Structure 1
């Protein structure tokens, strides 16, 4: 039972790390296309998808959680060239994502330490 819970936590962290890595790639793409006419900024939806799966009674839903790339048209600052990328926003998002990624790495490290303690105590 305990190992299942620990394994489940590691699986969730793995999915979150994958989503954070993808988000970094998407943000980099947004920055690279900041001067491309008609380019629309993209983002990654993950946190709500994960929360819905975790809160679901159907635990199989958690296995199918995957980040989703979405085009964001909610920026009211579309330029004349119809590009809606704001470099300042993207840089802030990149910093936030880096902090999120590093926090997740710390949590994974802590989780593996917990697993190691459990394994050492069962010997």
Structure 2
């Protein structure tokens, strides 16, 4: 009997990719905190997750063989500019470093939670296959 990884891993396999993209975006904001004119970017997690799980907006590449991995390109529209919650400092930069650091930490914890869940699921399947040895 074949194992269906999509049903076994659930949504957490997709959340890892979206959380990775979000971490890169937040890290980019932090790196450009002193860049004049830089506009902080963010993403709507639910919209990005919907697109990653097969919702509207995904771009899939055709597979030439049934054993090839499915490849999907990052959908457009998940990246948006943040509305600043602080007054302009005069240089046009909208990065709030404290907010970005908090968001990065929250995203890192949620990423770790997803990896822990996936690890538990994979360990359970491995135990079922090997009989607990």
Normalised to the residue count of structure 2, the TM-score between the two structures is: 0.68
Match of 1:97 in 2: 107
Please list every run of 5 or more consecutive structure 1 residues that lacks an aligned counterpart in the other structure. Answer: 55-59
Gaps of 5+ in 2: 59-71
- Once the two structures are superposed, residues 82-105 of structure 1 have per-residue CA deviations (whole angstroms, 9 ceiling, x without a partner) of 111011001101110110110011
After TM superposition, the runs of 4+ consecutive aligned structure 1 residues lying more than 4 A away are 51-54
Deviation readout 1:42-91 (Å, 9 max, x if unpaired): 1133324435887xxxxx539x485722222x113232111110110011
Specify the SS of the correspondent of 1:43. strand
The answer (yes or no) to whether the contact 1:37–1:83 under 8 Å persists in 2 is: yes
2:26 is matched with: 27
Aligned partner of 2:122 in structure 1 is 112
Partner of residue 55, structure 2? 61
Name the one with the larger helix percent. Answer: 1
- TM-score of the superposition, structure 1-length normalised? 0.72
Root-mean-square deviation (CA, aligned residues, Å) is 2.9
1:70 maps to which of 51, 65, 80:
80
